[in-house]
Amino acid sequence: MQFSVGEFLPVAEGVLVAVAEPAAVNIGLVVGPSGCLVIDTGSSPEQGALIRERAEQAAGVPVLAAVVTHWHHDHFFGLAGFADLPGYAHESVAEWLGHAECRRDATEVGVDPNALVAPSHPFSLARVIDVGGRRVEIVHFGRGHTDGDVVAFVPDAGVIFTGDLLESAGPPAFGADCHLKEWPSAVDGVLGLVAEETVLVPGHGPAMDRLAAFTQRAEISGLYGQVEYLVARGVNREDAYEQGEWPFDEQTVRAVLPLAYAQLADEGKVPRTQLPLV
Ligand SMILES: [Zn+2]
């Protein structure tokens, strides 16, 4: 697999973003007076080490800590490149490290699962990080894209790194480990921090503004709401695509329908055949 790290480019005063390939994941860099913070760490320990090196070149001050927005490989596997520094992530990320799914993902991207490291500073709700004299707030607003999404807010710059709770490169990634019903509330937490000029850096794709974030929140909520409506009307999964009105493209919707039906079934909501009255 071809790994590379693009140039760190500014999105606000002392806040930069680089794109790490092959996953096209946004890597954040917050530069304080005497140190800097990296947000998301790339897809492998080697890529993490390279990101750290590039971040220090761009910032001109040492990296003091790293934040992982969630356990997915392109955000988390590079943390091993920061192993001697504080690594912040939601407490669930360390648990994922032991899951077969995480180890399989590692093998798939050519990373030795045993080379991965757990975050040294797990937290459940929120933390403030002193980035060499600059304040960064990291917050978990509840389950959404995964069970442990964390956003990083730079108050003095009006920048929020949202991880994959929001995406601008394409539709949000509705993986098997996402929580469709709760996702919009997690985005509401992010939106609560957003002002007119706030820059939202999603997990993948260019920066987003407030309107784009509101729109995507409505789309995610609309998707779940539509499935809920179809289930209540007795529509089976196989017929759902044709009978629904969807905020995302056909491929995305068809891929997420089995998951949406399964998550509704977990709540006891299953399509019931409506027998004719006579
Ligand atoms: Zn993800």
Is 278 inside a domain boundary?
Answer: no
Predicted model pTM = 0.96
Is 277 inside a domain boundary?
Answer: no
Residue 173, classed as helix, strand or coil, is coil
> For residue 278, how far is its CA from the centre of ligand 1 (angstroms)?
50
69 with 186, same domain: the answer is yes
> For residue 17, how far is its CA from the centre of ligand 1 (angstroms)?
17
228 with 170, same domain: the answer is no
> For residue 173, how far is its CA from the centre of ligand 1 (angstroms)?
7
Residue 2 has pLDDT above 80, yes or no: no
Give the number of other CB atoms < 10 A from CB of residue 258.
Answer: 12
Cβ(198)–Cβ(158) below 8 Å? yes
- Give 38-83 pLDDT, tens digit per residue: 999 999 999 999 999 999 999 999 999 999 999 999 999 999 999 9
> For residue 72, how far is its CA from the centre of ligand 1 (angstroms)?
5
175 with 120, same domain: the answer is yes
Specify the pLDDT at position 141.
98
138 with 239, same domain: the answer is no
Specify the pLDDT at position 3.
87
- Give 71-124 pLDDT, tens digit per residue: 999 999 999 999 999 999 999 999 999 899 999 999 999 999 999 999 999 999
**What's the rounded mean pLDDT across residues 26-37?**
98
- Domain range enclosing 235: 219-271
What are the start-end ranges of the E strands in the chain? 4-5, 9-12, 15-21, 25-31, 36-39, 63-67, 87-90, 121-123, 126-130, 135-139, 151-154, 159-163, 199-202
Specify the pLDDT at position 278.
64
Is 66 inside a domain boundary?
Answer: yes
> For residue 90, how far is its CA from the centre of ligand 1 (angstroms)?
14
95 with 147, same domain: the answer is yes
Mark which of 208, 230, 247 sits at the end of a domain.
208
58 with 169, same domain: the answer is yes
Is 136 inside a domain boundary?
Answer: yes
> For residue 145, how far is its CA from the centre of ligand 1 (angstroms)?
7
> For residue 111, how far is its CA from the centre of ligand 1 (angstroms)?
17
Q: In whole angstroms, give the CA distance from residue 223 to residue 70.
A: 23
Q: For the chain, how many structural domains are there in total?
A: 2
Mark which of 208, 239, 256 sits at the end of a domain.
208
> For residue 241, how far is its CA from the centre of ligand 1 (angstroms)?
25
| Rounded percentage of the chain residues whose pLDDT exceeds 70 | 98
